[in-house]
Amino acid sequence: MNYQYEVKETILKIENVNLTLGGKLILKDVNGEVKNIRREEVQQGQVIGLLGPSGMGKTQLFRILSGLNMPDTGTVFVTEQMTPVKAGMVGVVAQNYPLFNHRTIISNLIVAGKQAGMDNSIAETRGKELLHRFGLDGHEDQYPVQLSGGQRQRAAIAQQFMCSEHFLLMDEPFSGLDPIALGEMCSFICEMAQTDELKTFVVVTHDIDSAVSVCDSLWLLGRDRDEHGDPIPGAKIQHVIDLAARGLAWRENIREIPSFAVTVNEVRQLFATL
């Protein structure tokens, strides 16, 4: 397959985001940018991995990226028009997989489809298709409490795929999945990213292996250190790893490429410094 690609206009920008919670500086001058990738003969979207140790501020940054929370200062811009993000502009799969508990799984998906402007029957067809893709055949008419944690998570992700939004943020989509479901989730994200050139996924995760295998770029969130090597409060994006430039994107069997293991190791070592 042709690996040539071009990096075009900015479609998501984080500008000087600062956040304090309970008197504690959580995010400090966070800056980041996602550019539209263009490949010949492929509708290629972007998949960004946001990684960092527990408690570093990933979920807080995620909520700011989604427009659900406002930072103290700074702005997140989305689309080529660089519009300041507002809640509802981007699809969100939160860390606790919210579904309406009083509705069946298929009905949860239909509601999401209708919110995105589909009529009932189209929403139902698309919903069933997605549940099939996520290995949830036969669970359509069950309620969220009747599913396992991993199944609920897949249902919540399927629900967000109902909307045709260009941006989809996922907080820990890989946690709680068995190895087979994890592999399927990775393939599904890669496949979905190739349905639209402007489609952008931001995946928040601890799972370095999965992140290196599905993403085309990684952002590592961490703190600066003082002269004694102690962390200074307030995290920012400390490292950007361009996986596409390393040939570690858009390929079959990425895990078998020798530089895959090298990169996973490198990220693991960087983690210790965040």
Which of 59, 79 has the CB closer to Mg ion?
59
User: Residue ranges of the alpha helices (H) in 52-178?
Assistant: 58-65, 105-115, 120-133, 149-161
Distance CA(268)–CA(273), nearest Å, equals: 9
Closest distance to ligand ATP from the beta carbon of 110 (Å): 30
CB-side exposure of 58: number of CA atoms within 13 Å?
25
Find the shortest distance in angstroms from Cβ 229 to ligand ATP.
20
Among 22, 138, 179, 258, binds ligand ATP (CB under 6 A): 22
- Could you say which of ligand ATP, Mg ion, none residue 87 binds, taking C-beta under 5 to 8 angstroms by partner kind? none
Residues 48 to 87 in contact with Mg ion, rule: CB under 5 A: 58-59
**Contact (Cβ atoms closer than 8 angstroms) between residue 15 and residue 76:** yes
List the x/- string, 34-53, binding to ligand ATP by CB under 6 A. ------------------x-
Question: How many residues belong to the site for ligand ATP (CB under 6 A)?
Answer: 12
Given candidates 60, 108, 200, 263, which one binds ligand ATP under the rule CB under 6 A? 60
User: 27 or 131, CB closer to ligand ATP?
Assistant: 27
Q: Is 56 in the site for ligand ATP (CB under 6 A)?
A: yes
For the chain, where are the E strands, in sequence order? Answer: 5-21, 24-39, 46-51, 73-78, 83-84, 91-93, 167-171, 200-205, 217-225, 231-242
Using CA atoms, how far apart are residues 105 and 114, in angstroms rounded to an integer? Answer: 15
CA atoms within 13 A on the CB side of 210: 24
Residue whose CB is less far from ligand ATP, 182 or 254: 182
Q: Which of 11, 12, 17, 26 binds ligand ATP (CB under 6 A)?
A: 26
Q: Show Cβ contacts of residue 141 under 8 Å, excluding neighbours closer than 6 positions.
A: 104, 105, 106
- Chain residues that interact with Mg ion, rule: CB under 5 A: 58-59
Site residues for ligand ATP per CB under 6 A: 21-22, 24, 26, 52, 54-60
